[in-house]
Structure 1
Amino acid sequence: MALNFHQLHIFYSVAERGSFSAAAQALHMTQPAVTMQVQSLEDYFGTKLLQRSTKKIELTEAGRALLPYAQRSMELIRETDAAMAAFTSKLKGRLQLGASLTIGEYILPRLLGPFGKEYPQVSISMKVMNTAQIIDDITSHQLNFGLIEAPVNHPEMLMEKVLSDELVLITAKDHPLSKMDHVTISDAVQYPFVLREQGSGTRLVMEEQLKAKEIDPNALEIVMELGSTGAIKSAVEAGVGISIVSASSVKHEVALGLIRVIPLSDVQFKRHFYAIQLKSALLPISAVTFLTFLRERDLQQWL
């Protein structure tokens, strides 16, 4: 019998999740099949790797020694898939992902079109929802991976920066600030704001930069909190207040002259978007190819 990656993957999943049943669910296998593969791996090495009890699974000394090698083998497979994705020609299958609000509404639709033209036999399914829902769907295997607007600390997730974004100050076309070529952030915070709800990725980035400029976010005059960027744009256009949103989300309104972007002279609101997936799962080649597309292409031609 030869050592094979499939058994290492199963062993790693059991060790990470602490039970055969949880690993079986994650791997879409039956529990007896998972148990049999781990036993085959133990037979190959001639030693016990897992100590089984009624309450939980614990690694033996041999299992603890094997775990980092199993992890490295998974990382190598991921790197191999990513390297070969650039050479994929007739890619088929289904691309399933989740995306948080700004990414799903304003970024990905402009990128999925070019990707779909390049890989016309891939069907694409995207859910737009908040980060917590994306993580829930990934852990319950409803989604392969997700794209989110702020980093998360989750023990089961791998996270990677894949896109960059910039937030900009927007006003109505007849707002007092709209007549200025640029303003300072201190100038801007003198006016009423319309913002996303507390905890949103956009708001977190804004508040962090305000604090860096020694401006208390709680001192802002917030006249309205809204749950979508579309609602914020409508409120700003109506003169309710000013806001800070993703530059990608207002290109249409700016082109039509409905909203103005006012450059800030003393601060930049830069952020990254992140891809997340389960540590113990391997992505289908359609997902690997899409992430490679995000990493390696000049995305600004579409954004």
Structure 2
Amino acid sequence: MNFHQLHIFYTVAERGSFSSAAQALHMTQPAVTMQIQSLEDYFGAKLLKRSTKKIELSEAGKTLLPYAKRSIELFREADQSMSSFTHMLEGRLHLGASLTIGEYVLPRLLGPFGREFPHIRVMMKVMNTAQIMDEILKNQLSFGLIEGPIQHADIAVEPVMQDELKLIVPAGHPLAEQQSVQMKDVLAYPFVLREQGSGTRQVMEEELIRKSFDLSRLDAVMELGSTGAVKSAVEEGLGLTMLSPSSVKHEVALGLLKVVDIEDVSFKRQFYAIHLKSSLLPIPAVTFLTYLRRHQPEQMTEAQDKGQPQKEGV
């Protein structure tokens, strides 16, 4: 018995068929079948009940499954723990990222990552969450980074980074020179918002509801389908908005927009990594995710603003 056989057994059990498992593992179906037979020979018991419709676990298979799952989890933990010691990795890293993460958060992290791991080439696609899930399921991406949790039987979801929305106002606005404001004062002004259903809008509305603010008091004069369009509208003085400071860093540096804190209200959100449950992430992917956990976006921004090296730790 070896780990490779346990991994194959777990994948067949999760997928419910040899052909689907073979596709996920990038193996031929006869090779998968042979490894399962070797494992059954080792234990002297049938692990799977084969039928024309679907593979089912025998009693012996049901007993083995949690041990196989634990071995995979332990392997992943070992990869994650050791990845920070490996600096001569080579290869390409294929990942997908949703709009805010791909356009505004990751670019500030990719440069330092590339300097620390110069032999890893990152190939990133900026897509919506549904597209990222589809390519992961087709084994076209190693993993994806998205702005909200999802549920899918074949996809693992884990928190990886945190972000926080802030009030964004145009330069020259009455609130622009204040370090912090109260939410009741903010609601007196019109807002330019992302469209209904966007992760940014959802985080803002959920926090306002949690703080017992009436959403009907929110004067949304405009709803736009991209962060860039929202920023341009705010620059023109059409309203205020709530965005990640990472997405307005350039405009703030040019003096076009200001970031203002709102007292006693915190619009924090979690970013998530998603990948196939049945596949082990390649070492470059584990290294990249470990790097993201150690270097939060706000830490990168603060360090760059002060001209200091980034600090490790969350």
With normalisation by structure 1, the TM-score equals 0.94
RMSD of the alignment, in Å? 1.6
Q: Is 63-72 or 28-37 further displaced after alignment?
A: 28-37
Cα separation, partners in 2 of 1:299 and 1:242, compared to 1, 3 Å? closer
1-side partners of 2:77 and 2:25: how far apart?
A: 20
Are 2:161 and 2:296, in contact at CA under 8 Å, matched by a contact in 1? no
**What is the alpha-carbon distance in structure 2 between the residues aligned to residue 252 and residue 177 of structure 1?**
20
Runs of 4+ that moved beyond 4 A: 297-301
Counterpart of 1:142 in structure 2: which amino acid?
Q
Can you list the C-alpha shifts for 1:97-147, whole angstroms capped at 9, x where unaligned?
111111111111111111111111111100111112111111111110111
Deviations 1:239-280 (A, max 9, x none): 121110011111121121101222211211111211111111
- Alignment length (residue pairs): 301
Aligned residue identity for 1:80: A
- Pairwise CA distance, 1:157: 2.0
Q: What is the aligned-residue identity percentage?
A: 67
Alpha carbons of 1:251 and 1:145: their partners in 2 closer, same or farther (altered >3 Å)? Answer: same
- The answer as to 2:220 corresponding to 1:215 is no
Residues 173, 298 of structure 1: CA spacing in aligned structure 2 closer, same or farther, 3 A cutoff? closer
The structure 2 residue matched to 1:133, chosen from 125, 131, 135, is 131
Instruction: Give the distance between the partners of 1:13 and 1:47, measured in 2 at CA.
Output: 19
2:259 equivalent to 1:273: no
**2:8 is matched with which residue?**
10
Could you tell me how far apart the structure 2 residues matched to 1:133 and 1:207 are?
A: 25
Tell me, yes or no, if the aligned pair for 2:163 and 2:298 is still in contact at 8 Å.
Answer: no
Per mean C-alpha deviation after superposition, the further-off stretch among 224-233 and 204-213 is 224-233
Letter paired with 1:114: P
Aligned to 2:60: 62
* Superposed counterparts of 1:197-212, under 5 Å: 197-212=195-210
SS at match of 2:110: helix
Q: How does 1:42-191 map to 2 (within 5 A)?
A: 42-191=40-189
The whole-number CA distance in structure 2 between the counterparts of 1:292 and 1:56 is 37
Distance in 2, matches of 1:298 and 1:172, equals 27
Q: What TM-score do you get using the length of structure 2 for normalisation?
A: 0.91
- After superposition, the Cα gap between the structure-2 partners of 1:222 and 1:298, relative to the gap in structure 1 and judged at 3 Å, is closer
Amino acid at match of 1:74: I
Matched to 1:279, the amino acid is: K
Aligned residue number for residue 246 of structure 1? 244
1:264 and 2:262 aligned: yes
Structure 2 unmatched runs, 5+: 302-314
Rounded Cα–Cα distance in structure 2 between residues aligned with 1:146 and 1:72: 23
CA contact (8 A) 2:235 2:257 kept: yes
